[in-house]
Amino acid sequence: MREKIVAGNWKMNKNRTEAKALVSELLKEFKHKPAPGVTVVVAPPMPFTGEVVDQTAGTSVQVGAQNCHQSESGAYTGEVAAEMLKSIGVQYVILGHSERRTYYGETDAFVAAKIDRALEHDLVPIYCCGELLEERKAGRHFEVIEAQLKAALYHLHPTEMAKVVIAYEPVWAIGTGETATPEQAQEVHAFIRQKIADQYGRELAEGCAILYGGSCKPSNAQSLFLQPDVDGGLIGGASLKAADFAAIAHSF
């Protein structure tokens, strides 16, 4: 049975006091109503990551980072290395998010190198892929996603690929309030799983967790998670409210 994952990407939100309060609320939510069989991950802003690791120690909540650099170390002002994240207890790292691609010009080659660094330091990459609105309208979404998978993942050895989590994020649904229908999400998730099977074999593909990211919220989470190839969600705005995030985690 594939792992079910609900990961909260806080993006650039919350100050230190607010971050600590949100984690406290989340821990109360999951203490009283644990989400059986679901891995819960929170990815706070970088300055608070270490504190959140400490705050969640000994609980079922795991901690991710929102990014890491593609180099091992060096003169990269303002960046953070995978080894640094691992050294403070981070377990997951979100890579290839559309906002990183759009605002910071991250290419597939950059993302592939970041995945390599993450795996070298035993971090679980949550690799994001997905199409723009114009690509969807032009019927090119499968072509775009296949190219992203090939560029970022196909160089990995099967033992490495088995550790990667994939997040399908239709860019047109991120922060817009628009959401892919459950049928649209399932269609793309099934396509991604088939491409992984073509490259690495059916057994590995069947064990690969593929998350949906794109305006997932309590009102639509269950219908999305009922799809056979949707294994959870990479949650943005709804992860900033403990009750909403917990409700999503309990939607399986």
Q: Which residues are catalytic?
A: 97, 169
**Distance from C-alpha of 212 to C-alpha of 142, rounded to nearest angstrom:** 15
**Distance from C-alpha of 200 to C-alpha of 123, rounded to nearest angstrom:** 21
In this structure, are residues 90 and 62 in contact, taking their beta carbons and an 8 Å threshold? Answer: no
**Distance from C-alpha of 147 to C-alpha of 108, rounded to nearest angstrom:** 9
Hey, which bits of the chain come out as E strands? 4-9, 38-43, 61-65, 92-95, 124-129, 165-168, 210-212, 232-235
**Distance from C-alpha of 133 to C-alpha of 114, rounded to nearest angstrom:** 26
234, β-bridge pairs: 7
- Is 17 exposed, middle or buried, given 0-12, 13-18 or 19+ CB atoms closer than 10 A? exposed
8-state DSSP, 198: H
> Distance of CA 66 to CAs 11, 70, 97, Å?
7, 13, 9
